Amino acid sequence: MISLANFASRASEVVAGIIEQIKDRVAGIIDAIFGDGEGEEISDAEKQAQAETEFDAWGEEYADMVGQTEVCAAVEEEVVHQMQQAGVEEIYWLAEPDACDRCLANADASPLPIDQLWPSGDTAPPAHPRCRCTIAPA
């Protein structure tokens, strides 16, 4: 069962990450559209249309990424809970084939006691957006 404390902590992390990514993306879009003032002149209407297109495309992609990551987080947290109920004491972090350094460090630390944090500070995957790692009982 997902605890309220874990949910609140994860929600806070997700919101902070969303804010940072939005700031970076907005800055990138503004720079791409308005640039340094040199080059081809485009009308305000064209700039607005271009910005709306960029934001719409990014928004859909971002919503998909957040949804996928949060569903994975909920599933993995429930898997940990079920393993605890079944008496599993240690688990493995199974890194995806193209795993990042963060996930590889978690896999290298396997097996760990089920109630211990991984080197990344996570209790279970996902360690980052679009993480495809999983856990297994030791």
The pLDDT value given to residue 119: 97
Q: How confident is the model at residue 5 (pLDDT cuts 50, 70, 90)?
A: low
**Model pTM score:** 0.63
| pLDDT single digits (tens) 72-100 | 888 999 999 999 999 999 999 999 999 99
Q: How confident is the model at residue 11 (pLDDT cuts 50, 70, 90)?
A: low
The pLDDT value given to residue 49: 74
The CB density around residue 124, as the number of other CB atoms within 10 Å, is 25
Q: Which residues of 48-80 are buried (b: 16+ CB within 10 A; e: fewer)?
A: eeebeebeeebeeebeeebeebeebbeebbebb
The pLDDT value given to residue 13: 72
Cα dihedral: 48, 51, 52, 55 (round 10): -160
Q: Domain count for the chain, please give it.
A: 1
Residues in CB range of 12: below 8 A, 6 or more apart? none
Q: How confident is the model at residue 62 (pLDDT cuts 50, 70, 90)?
A: confident
| pLDDT single digits (tens) 101-128 | 999 999 999 999 999 999 999 999 999 8
Angle, to 10 degrees, between the axis of helix 44-85 and the axis of helix 4-34?
160
Residue pair 91/125 in contact by the 8 Å Cβ criterion = no
Q: Which domain holds residue 130?
A: 4-137
- % of the chain exceeding 70 in pLDDT: 78
What distances in angstroms separate CA 99 from CA 29, 73, 89, 127, one per listed residue? Answer: 29, 17, 25, 10
